[in-house]
Amino acid sequence: MQLTRDLSNDDLAEIVFAGDQERLQRILGALPEWAHAATEHPDAFWERQQAEIKKRTDAVPQRSSRWVVIAWASATAVVLLATLLLRSSPAPPPSIVQSDVDQELLLAVEQSLQSGVPQALEPAALLADEINRSAQPILTSHGVSKENQNEGPRNEDR
């Protein structure tokens, strides 16, 4: 009692935990032996278990032999190859595309023939047209005024 009173809390805790530790270590140390002892069986038990396993494994359908596996692999490869070949076969018949292109070219030629100016010079022709059109009214107005001016004195003269 006196001894307990002299011990600090830490000392007491250490003793308690040391006791736990010891108990735990005893249990853990004995555990493998208990596990072995608890699962001890006569040889007949293990032999029966082996026979049971053998019976069940024998009942499993035989695993497909190497040759069957190879045959399956080859067949799969052939099917895959065929699929790939079918997928990468020549694209839609070129004749349709070709005729479309011909048609377009024909239309372009026709248009450029009708326009009277080569297609490349069309912008220049448009510009020239524009200049002409804008110059026309000025010219006409100038012509009229000049005519008027010319006519004026004549009229005055008259």
Which of residues 43 and 156 has its CB atom nearest to other proteins in the complex? 43
Q: What is the 3-state secondary structure (H, E, C) of 46-59?
A: HHHHHHHHHHHHHH
Q: How far is the CB of 40 from other proteins (least distance, A)?
A: 5
- Asked whether position 74 contacts other proteins by CB under 8 A, the answer is no
103-134 core/surface letters (b: 16 or more CB in 10 A; e: else): eeeeeeeeeeeeeeeeeeeeeeeeeeeeeeee
Helix (H, G, I), strand (E, B) or coil at 116: coil
**Candidate ranges 20-28, 90-98, 102-110, 125-133; the one touching other proteins (CB under 8 A):** 20-28
Contact region with other proteins (CB under 8 A), list: 15-23, 93-101, 105-113, 126-134: 15-23
Contact set with other proteins (CB under 8 A): 16, 20-21, 23-24, 26-28, 30-42, 44-46, 49-50, 52-54, 56-57, 60, 62-63, 65-67
